[in-house]
Amino acid sequence: MFTGELGGDFLVLDAKDGTVLLRHNIGSAMNGGIVTYQVAGKQYVAVTSGSSTRFWRTPSAPAAVTIFGIPAPAPREE
């Protein structure tokens, strides 16, 4: 699962128990959705951030899109 925190951290969580698998600061709070897509067999996650609104009381930051490549899963042993 993917989510973000107002402090600018993007999180990857284990869907089974919520354990944080990855925490990466993207510079400012996420301001939109998270999109996953595939190009030439490689999976990516795109995250938007940056805000000029006072609603969430977070610092203003320029708009940005951060893209993460997802490593291929390890082969399963049968």
Q: Whole-angstrom distance between the N-terminal and C-terminal Cα of the chain?
A: 26
75: in domain: no
* Torsion sign across C-alpha atoms 67, 4, 50, 59: negative
76: in domain: no
CB 22 within 8 A of CB 45: no
What pLDDT, in 10s, does the model give residues 52-64?
566 656 666 777 8
37: in domain: yes
Cα separation of 58 and 50, whole Å?
A: 9
Range of the domain at 34: 2-70
Total structural domains within the chain: 1
The pLDDT of 37-58, averaged and rounded, is 80
In this prediction the pTM is 0.73
% of the chain with per-residue pLDDT over 90:
42
